[in-house]
A and B are shown apart, each in its own frame.
Chain A
Amino acid sequence: MALKLSFTPHKMPSFPDARIRSHRVFMASTIHSPSMEVGKVKKPFTPPRETHVQVTHSLAPEKREIFNSLNNWAEENILVLLKDVEKSWQPSDFLPEPASEGFDEQVMELRKRCKEIPDDYFVVLVGDMITEEALPTYQTMLNTLDGVRDETGASLTPWAIWTRAWTAEENRHGDLLNKYLYLSGRVDMKQIEKTIQYLIGSGMDPRTENNPYLGFIYTSFQERATFISHGNTARLAKEHGDLKLAQICGIIAADEKRHETAYTKIVEKLFEIDPDGTVLALADMMRKKISMPAHLMYDGQDDNLFENFSSVAQRLGVYTAKDYADILEFLVGRWDVEKLTGLSGEGRKAQDYICGLPPRIRRLEERAQSKVKQASSAPFSWIFGRQIKL
C-alpha cells in the first residue's frame, strides 16, 4: 500500500481528499478532522496558505513568569552558546575572493566542480537554501512567543539577545548558499529568488500558539532536522567531488548543532520546572506534527512544489521519514521523557503517546518502503524546468 499522506496545506484537507504518503505524514501538519477545516479551496497559480485554524496565546498567563525567573539561568546557560562575532566564520571565508587576482580562476574552478554534481542534488540544495533565506519568518516566529519575545527590537532580556544573535548567525547560512548557487551557474537564480519572495510573503504558522513551551520544542526539533539535512548534503557533496561545497554544508551543520544544544537545554529546564506542562506540550506538538518551515513554498508554477522537493530529499536520503522518527526518539531520550514522574493523568497519557510514537512512525515508513512505487518525475523551475525523478 503506497499510502500517501500529503499535507499539501493549500488543498482542502478534508479526510477523503487527503493523499497519504508515509514520509509526508511527518513532513507537514495540516491534516485535520473535517471539523477543523478552514479556508477555501486553493485557486490555481496562487501561493498556498495555512489551512488550519490559527490558535493564539495558549500559554496560561501566569506561566510567563517562569521565563522572567529564568533570565539569569538563560544568561549563564544559553547565551554562552553564542559565538563571538569576531570568531565567527563569514560567507567570504568559503567563496572566491573578489578583491584578489585569482578571483576569475577560483570562480572557474567552482563552476567546474559544480558541473559534476547532478540536478537532483541541486534541487535539494536549492530547497534548503530557500528555507534558510526565509529567515525573516523565523525571527518573527520567535518574537510571537509570550514571555520571551523581543518587545522593542533591542530589548536586553537574555531571550531577546539570544533571538537577535541566533538570527544573525543564521543569516550567514542563506547568504553563503545564495552566493555559491549564484556562482555555480547550475540553477535558475531568478526562479529561486521568486520562490524566496513568495515564501517570505507566505510566512508560516508552526502552530506554536505564542506558547514558548511549544515554540522551543518546535525549534529543538527543527535545529536537529537541519543539522541532519545539511550533514547529508555535505556528505553527498563530498561524494560528488566538491569538497568546498562539502565544507560549506558542514560549517552550516555545525551551527545548527550548536543551536540544537541551546534549544534542547531550554526545554530540558522546562521539563525540570514544569514536567507536566512540558510533556503535554511535547505530545501536542507531535500530534499536530512538526511542519517544515518551507512547506508553503511556491515558485509561480508548481502547485506541488514542496511535496515534490520533499520527495527528492527523501529519495536522496537528505531528509527522510526515518530521520523524523530518529529525531523524535533522540529528543525523548535527551529529555528523559520515559523517566518523568509526578505527572497528572493527562500527563501520563501524553508520556505514553510520545514514547510509543517513534516505533509507530518507523513501522509506517517500513511498510511504505516495501510497497512497489510507481516511477514518477516532475519538472523543477529551479533547474530550468528539467525533470527530476521523485
Chain B
Amino acid sequence: MASIATSSVFFPVSSSLKQNQVSNLKMVSLSFTGKNFRSLRLQPSRFRVACAAKPETVEKVCEIVRKQLALPADSAVTGESKFASLGADSLDTVEIVMGLEEEFGISVEEESAQTITTVQEAADMIENLKAKKA
C-alpha cells in the first residue's frame, strides 16, 4: 500500500465501479486528517479504493507509450495524457496494452482494457492487477 500523507490525495477509483460512475468519478479528491479511515465518506461495500499508482509505474507507462508512438524522450507525456491526443490509433492502443502486459507480467481482461484512455488509468489498472496477483 502506498503511504498516504495526511493531506488531500487523489484516489483513483477502481474499475469495479459501473462504467458511468467511472466516467464521472475518475478522480476522487479526499482530504482527511489522522489515521482513521472511517472519516472518509466512502461506502466500502460499493467502492474498492485502490491506491494511487506509484510514480515509477506511471513513468514506466509513459516510457512504453512514448516508445509505441515514437515520441521523443522529452515530449510531454504525463498521467493525464490521453492516448488519442498523443496520436494513438486503435492499433497503437492495443499494442500499448500488450506492452504493459509484457512489462508488468500481467494479463489484461477486455473489460479493464476498455476503460483505459489515459496514462494514469493504465498505471492504476496495472497496480490493481498486480495487487490482485499478490
Q: Report whether chain A binds chain B.
A: yes
Decide if B90 is an interface residue (CB 8 Å cutoff): yes
Residues of A near B116 (CB, < 8 A) are 16
Count of A interface residues, CB-CB < 8 Å: 24
The list of the 7 closest CB pairs from A to B, nearest first, reads A33-B84, A1-B108, A31-B90, A4-B110, A15-B117, A16-B115, A3-B94
Binds A, one of B1-9, B71-79, B95-103: B95-103
Residue contacts A-B, CB under 8 angstroms, 30 given: A1-B98, A1-B107, A1-B110, A1-B113, A2-B109, A2-B110, A3-B97, A3-B108, A3-B113, A5-B94, A15-B84, A15-B93, A15-B117, A16-B19, A16-B23, A16-B114, A16-B115, A16-B117, A18-B90, A20-B90, A20-B94, A20-B114, A287-B89, A360-B95, A361-B91, A363-B98, A364-B91, A364-B94, A364-B95, A371-B107
Residues of B near A371 (CB, < 8 A) are 107
Decide if A177 is an interface residue (CB 8 Å cutoff): no
The 8 Å CB contact of A20, one of B84, B107, B110, is B110
Residues of B near A35 (CB, < 8 A) are 84
Residues of B near A18 (CB, < 8 A) are 90, 114
Shortest Cβ distance from B26 into chain A, in angstroms?
11
Decide if A112 is an interface residue (CB 8 Å cutoff): no
A-B contact count (CB 8 A): 59
B102 and chain A: residue at smallest CB distance: A367
Residues of A near B23 (CB, < 8 A) are 16
Contact yes or no, A1 B97, CB < 8 A: yes
A34-B93 Cα distance, complex, nearest whole Å:
14
Residues of A near B114 (CB, < 8 A) are 16-20
Residues of A near B101 (CB, < 8 A) are 1
Q: Within residues 96 to 134 of chain B, which ones have a CB less than 8 A from any CB in chain A?
A: 97-98, 101, 107-110, 113-117
Shortest Cβ distance from B42 into chain A, in angstroms?
23
Contact yes or no, B94 A25, CB < 8 A: yes
A357 and chain B: residue at smallest CB distance: B91
Contact yes or no, A34 B89, CB < 8 A: no
Residues of A near B94 (CB, < 8 A) are 3, 5, 20, 22, 25, 364
Most buried by A among B97, B107, B110: B110
Residues of A near B108 (CB, < 8 A) are 1, 3
Chain B positions 6 through 37: 1 when the CB is less than 8 Å from some CB of chain A, otherwise 0? 00000000000001000100000000000000
- Which B residues lie at the A interface, using CB under 8 A? 19, 23, 84, 89-91, 93-95, 97-98, 101, 107-110, 113-117
Residues of A near B19 (CB, < 8 A) are 16-17
- Which A residues lie at the B interface, using CB under 8 A? 1-5, 15-20, 22, 25, 31, 33-35, 287, 360-361, 363-364, 367, 371
Shortest Cβ distance from A374 into chain B, in angstroms?
10
Residues of B near A364 (CB, < 8 A) are 91, 94-95, 98
A384-B19 Cα distance, complex, nearest whole Å:
35
A363-B116 Cα distance, complex, nearest whole Å:
21
Shortest Cβ distance from A21 into chain B, in angstroms?
8
Residues of B near A4 (CB, < 8 A) are 110
Residues of B near A34 (CB, < 8 A) are 84
Most buried by B among A5, A16, A287, A367: A16
Shortest Cβ distance from B25 into chain A, in angstroms?
14
Q: Given A16-B23, A18-B114, A19-B114, do A5 and B90 touch, yes or no (CB 8 Å)? A: yes
Contact yes or no, A1 B109, CB < 8 A: yes
A363-B23 Cα distance, complex, nearest whole Å:
31
Contact yes or no, A3 B110, CB < 8 A: yes
The 8 Å CB contact of A25, one of B91, B113, B117, is B91
Shortest Cβ distance from B89 into chain A, in angstroms?
7
A5-B106 Cα distance, complex, nearest whole Å:
20
Residues of A near B113 (CB, < 8 A) are 1, 3, 20
Shortest Cβ distance from B6 into chain A, in angstroms?
33
Shortest Cβ distance from A48 into chain B, in angstroms?
19
Residues of A near B90 (CB, < 8 A) are 5, 18, 20, 25, 31
Contact yes or no, B84 A367, CB < 8 A: no
Residues of A near B109 (CB, < 8 A) are 1-2
Residues of A near B97 (CB, < 8 A) are 1, 3
A35-B107 Cα distance, complex, nearest whole Å:
30
A123-B94 Cα distance, complex, nearest whole Å:
30
Residues of B near A31 (CB, < 8 A) are 90
Shortest Cβ distance from A29 into chain B, in angstroms?
9
A2-B113 Cα distance, complex, nearest whole Å:
10
Most buried by A among B23, B107, B113: B113
Given A1-B98, A33-B84, A364-B95: 19 more A-B contacts, CB < 8 Å = A1-B113, A2-B109, A3-B98, A3-B108, A3-B113, A16-B114, A17-B19, A17-B114, A18-B90, A20-B90, A20-B94, A20-B114, A25-B91, A287-B89, A360-B95, A363-B98, A364-B91, A364-B94, A371-B107
